Amino acid sequence: MLLNELKVGDQAKIIRIADDVFRTKLLEMGIMQGTPVTLMLRAPFNGPLAFSYENTLLSIRYEDAHSILVEKMNMHQ
């Protein structure tokens, strides 16, 4: 599924980031294949969303989140 399809509180692992430039930018920040993320906030009207990884809460736009493929993790895993 895509990152923008997650619900608040869902945990997921990054599988693939389709957009080249975006992938490099996120990689520089330490977000890459296998990074676990938790969706924390969604702005109204399909506005930006914020996910946490490591100790950071990072917000990206809904459309950009569309290029991030994730795998939802079971809460107890």
18 binds another protein, rule: CB under 8 A = no
Give 20-37 as a DSSP string.
HHHHHHHHHTT--TT-EE
Beta bridge partners of 49: 42, 60
Interface residue with another protein among 6, 42, 68, 70 (CB under 8 A) is 42
- Least Cα distance to 61 among 77, 75, 42 occurs for 42
54 binds another protein, rule: CB under 8 A = yes
59 binds another protein, rule: CB under 8 A = yes
- Provide the binding-site residues for another protein, judged by CB under 8 A: 8, 20-30, 32, 40-48, 50, 52, 54-62, 64
